[in-house]
Amino acid sequence: MSFTTKLAAAWAHNQSLLMVGLDPDTSRLPEPFLHRDPTDILNFCKGIVDATAPYVCGFKPQIAYFAAHAAEPQLEVLCDYIRRSYPHLVLMLDAKRGDIGSTADQYAKEAFERYQADAVTVNPYMGLDSIEPYFAWPDRGVIILCRTSNPGGSDLQFLKLESGQPLYLHVAELVAKKWNHHGQCGLVVGATFPEEIAQVRQVVGDLPLLIPGIGAQGGDIDATVQAGRDANGTGMMINSSRAILYASSGIDWQDAAARAAQATQQAINRARGL
């Protein structure tokens, strides 16, 4: 099954465009996790997955939060748990890798063989040859940074080319028209810039968009959905991390995460007219 086929099925299964980012900050783990070690990281993330799975289209573990605590083995276990327990949902590794071809080949093996992710985020700054190794797995998604949600993203992404086109739209056009040979590419576009989301959508047609920036980062759900939806009313993986993961610091942390995920799913669906 191709990534885009699996993603479309995940959207339909739970009637959800919500993706939960698994960013386990050890300083914010709730009360039951006293050791804040790799085992706690794993158990917390598994608990979040179980609590929120009915309301999402997928999960996006961020590798740095695991690697910083030597918890890569626990990330492997978590990825395996998601694949086995919720095979209908998308597993995306948030790595934002970007390096020369021979190194990118190793990063691709890490994402698609070690962690067996359905998709991975990558950085296009070094050009096509740094992205091509990921295309050797044509059934997996390659989600390319385009217009990111952080304030500093404008330092480079909004620079104007000689044509007057901003750099982020040039990236969108490259991906949609030249790089997407296997139909496996998507783009990262932040919810904090809904006008730019709409411009990207106009350029890329029905390419899937990973949209971070709602919840703790303040992106507006209604504006995001109206700007980013494709012709089918889907086309987006709208990511929320901190607002769901840390909905409570107490013993009710799982219930609170479930409520936050359900509320976000419902808000997105209201914006879709469902």
DSSP code, position 182: T
Taking CA atoms, 36 is separated from 1, 62, 97, 243, in Å, by 37, 17, 27, 20
Q: How far apart are CA 175 and CA 36, in angstroms?
A: 40
Q: How far apart are CA 130 and CA 104, in angstroms?
A: 6
Listed residue (182, 178, 187) closest to 140, CA to CA: 182
Cα-Cα-Cα-Cα dihedral of 114, 115, 120, 124, to 10°? -30
Between CA 44 and CA 86 the distance in angstroms is: 17
* Residue 198 CA: distances (Å) to CA of 20, 22, 225: 23, 27, 10
SS3 content of the chain, % helix, strand, coil (to 5): 50, 15, 30
Catalytic residues: 96
> Which of 78, 47, 73, 77 shows the shortest CA–CA distance to 61?
78
- Per the DSSP assignment, residues forming a β-bridge with 33 are none
